[in-house]
Amino acid sequence: MRINLTAILLVSALIVAIHSQIVLAAAPPKQDNIATFSVVAYKPSTGEVGVAVQSRFFAVGSVVPYAEAGVGAIASQAFGNTTFGPLGLEMISQGMGLDEVMSTLLRDDERREQRQVGMVQVGGGNFTPGNEWAESRQASYAMTEAGQALSYTGSECMDWAGGRTGVSSEGYIFAVQGNILTGKPVVDEMYAAMAEPEEWLSQHHLENAEIDRAVSIDDMAGRLLLCLVAGQTMGGDSRGMQSAAMLIQQAGMGYGGYNDLKYDLRVDDAEDPFNELARLLNIGRPFALGNEAYTVLYNGEYERARELFETIVQLDPQNANAYYNLACACAMGGDVGAGFLNLVLALDLDPSMLDHALQDSDLDNLHSDERWQTIEARQAQAGE
């Protein structure tokens, strides 16, 4: 009997190839450990919930932050489980306390000791840690009548890893946490900036103009950014910098009042993600404040709208739209004098806004004043 050596070699090669494919298919997918530090916060006075995060990881904003107005906010990191955000917010919305939410998320998670999570919840309640919380896990918890905060770090998260929770003097409820950090002082510094921002700023000089401008307004966005910057002053992520993100939700304060998305800023890859996040915030804040201002304006909250538009003018004193919007708020609120003053400033900066002004019903309260004739006269002058 003649043996065909070539055929045997081909069959052997085929068997090896099939076996290799089976082995490769059976291998678990590689997962990256998202070394990062983050802050989650709830501001009861405005209803804002938000997350800010920085990492030596590409596009961290696509993995870590989750928030829902009226419910809470979640940061899921380390070996981040992207189901924790949606599932956690759903459980909170159903009335679970953060202890029960965290226990439920971890119960069937084989990698529970490699997870790190920060959470805030809108609304207070009872907190009784369940038996699932083993001594090997590090957890911090804070609660007021307005809300709750929790930070969890699994025992197998890479050093340094940990978190803290707290309540600021103005009522911010927050959690700060990080893993693969340069040390515990990163989280401590973040805590200090969230709890007492003025005191922290009095002890630190911010040399970056973009960041200094962004945190000069102490709103939710400014506070979250300051918290990240504070963490970086102590070394931040031990592997370096790459990406950052900020997500803030506030009921009815998204574009046109149609949704709750106030800020969704992402820096996917940058040498200095802190500077870039601050730059985006400086661009985006006037739009976010404008959305909020017009929402409250049309709800009849004239003074609040005026305050917001005045803030926008301060942010960009050469922006004709800022003065025009302030003029509308003043006119609708019955302050005709301030309405004319700001309208003239707007038209001096941008004469092309005249046609819109002559048709805008938001300025109707100015029409009965004799000064309106000077506005109309601008149209004739433009035609000469």
If asked whether residues 122 and 47 sit together in one domain, one would say yes
If asked whether residues 43 and 150 sit together in one domain, one would say yes
Is 50 exceeded by the pLDDT of residue 202? yes
Range of the domain at 61: 36-294
Question: Residue 12: its pLDDT value, please?
Answer: 45
If asked whether residues 258 and 152 sit together in one domain, one would say yes
If asked whether residues 252 and 329 sit together in one domain, one would say no
Dist CA 147 CA 120 (whole Å): 7
If asked whether residues 254 and 378 sit together in one domain, one would say no
If asked whether residues 104 and 196 sit together in one domain, one would say yes
Residue 37 corresponds to which tokens in the numbers above? Answer: 């530090």
pLDDT tens digits along 149-166? 999 999 898 889 999 999
pLDDT-derived band at 380 (thresholds 50, 70, 90) equals: confident
If asked whether residues 75 and 144 sit together in one domain, one would say yes
Is 90 exceeded by the pLDDT of residue 323? yes
Question: Residue 11: its pLDDT value, please?
Answer: 40
pLDDT tens digits along 103-143? 999 998 999 999 999 999 999 766 655 544 444 457 888 99
pLDDT tens digits along 271-316? 999 999 999 999 999 999 999 999 999 999 999 999 999 999 999 8
266 domain residue, yes or no? yes
If asked whether residues 285 and 138 sit together in one domain, one would say yes
Structurally, the chain folds into a number of domains equal to 2
The whole-angstrom distance between residue 90's C-alpha and the CA centroid of its chain comes to 19
If asked whether residues 289 and 307 sit together in one domain, one would say no
If asked whether residues 219 and 184 sit together in one domain, one would say yes
CATH number, residue 321: 1.25.40.10
Question: Residue 369: its pLDDT value, please?
Answer: 93
Residue range 236-245: average pLDDT? 82
Query: What is the percent of the chain with per-residue pLDDT over 90, rounded to a whole number?
Result: 73
| Whether the Cβ atoms of residue 66 and residue 74 lie closer than 8 Å to each other | yes
* Ramachandran area for residue 246 (φ above 0: left; ψ -120 to 50: alpha; else beta): beta
Is 50 exceeded by the pLDDT of residue 15? no
Dist CA 268 CA 118 (whole Å): 21
202 domain residue, yes or no? yes
If asked whether residues 282 and 309 sit together in one domain, one would say no
If asked whether residues 224 and 369 sit together in one domain, one would say no
- Looking at 277, 294, 311, the residue that finishes a domain is 294
Kindly report whether the peptide bond that precedes residue 133 is cis, defined as omega within 30 degrees of 0: no
Question: Residue 19: its pLDDT value, please?
Answer: 40
pLDDT-derived band at 382 (thresholds 50, 70, 90) equals: confident
The residue behind tokens 């002559």 is 358
129 domain residue, yes or no? yes
